[in-house]
Amino acid sequence: MVRFKELGFKNFVEYRDYFFNTLLPSNKTYKYFVDWSKVKKVINRYLDEISLLNSLTKVNTKEREKRLCKLLLTYPKVVKVIPLLIAERVQKGKVDIFDTRNEEFVTIEFNPAKISREDVNKIIEFCVKSSVINLFQEVKDLHDYLLGVEVGLDTNARKNRSGYIFEEMCKQKIKRIIGGRYTIKSNDPSFSLYEVITKGKSKGKTHDFIIYKDSDPLLIVECNFYNVSGSKPVSISESYIEMHREAKKRGVNFLWITDGPAWHKMKEPLLRSIKEMDWILNFRMLNLVEKILNQE
């Protein structure tokens, strides 16, 4: 069971109630919403090509297809930008489209190294039928438009970013608390229990971070934030019980930092882990981490 007395609680009920009463309703920091460096990296990769395609916004509607054809033949690299205009991530330089009229697939090449006159004709047809060609009538600046497209696509990465953000929140708070007395290493490949726990299936998988004193690992830390309930938090809580046991065999403490509103609806699996493990804290309880380190 969680060693609540060493954490400063009078009894288990006090620890349990404090844990659930101080869960964060969200972990949305300022960095949660958009990874601007990634968005700008995508756009800046095609600045020249975007500028060339921008010329289509100044061309008369009737001349636009002819102008696009000329651009594709003269500057084939602009072909890479066309899928981006409709938020399509091209795999292996091509897109397969099902033509419902002929009931067959049409392959569109977006690889500038392979583009032929036939490919150009297919691309023009693609732009017409997907209404990409009409975009040049509506948009004044493709750079600004694509910036918006990439911001929209980046929202798909928020779920993964949420976990990373919580890990960084915990790591930085612990750093402030312990100062320079210990070393914190993230995803340290030199020490991991995963290969043992999973019987070699997770070879190379590392812990979120480990706290060292000199060269000795004192505390293995895993961080998880859950906004919604589901099977994953349950399986994680079960696997960390085994991780905790293996850590004890090696004389290292194991800390699970977990938080989020989902635990209000999944108390039972978390309580099972609390009854089997020594150290489980939420974010607001991290000021107690020194008490754990003093158990060395």
What whole-number distance in Å separates Cα of residue 219 and Cα of residue 211?
A: 5
What whole-number distance in Å separates Cα of residue 33 and Cα of residue 242?
A: 35
Higher pLDDT, 90 or 81: 81
Predicted confidence (pLDDT) per residue in 232-272, tens digit: 888 999 999 999 999 999 999 999 999 999 999 999 999 99
Judged against a pLDDT cut of 60, whether residue 296 lies above it is answered with no
Q: For residue 108, what are its two tokens? A: 């569109």
- pLDDT value at residue 211: 97
What whole-number distance in Å separates Cα of residue 258 and Cα of residue 225?
A: 6
In this structure, the number of other CB atoms found within 10 A of the CB of residue 3 comes to 14
Mean pLDDT of 1-14: 97
When mean pLDDT is compared across 1-5, 88-92, 184-188, 207-211, the lowest value belongs to 88-92
Predicted confidence (pLDDT) per residue in 285-294, tens digit: 999 999 999 8
Predicted confidence (pLDDT) per residue in 135-166, tens digit: 999 999 999 999 999 999 998 888 778 888 99
Mean pLDDT of the chain: 93
Closest Cα partner for 169 from 213, 221, 232? 221
Listed by start position, the domains of the chain span: 12-26+180-293, 36-156
Predicted confidence (pLDDT) per residue in 45-62, tens digit: 999 999 999 999 999 988
Strands 279-281 and 253-259: parallel
pLDDT level of residue 196 (50, 70, 90 thresholds): confident
pLDDT level of residue 18 (50, 70, 90 thresholds): very high
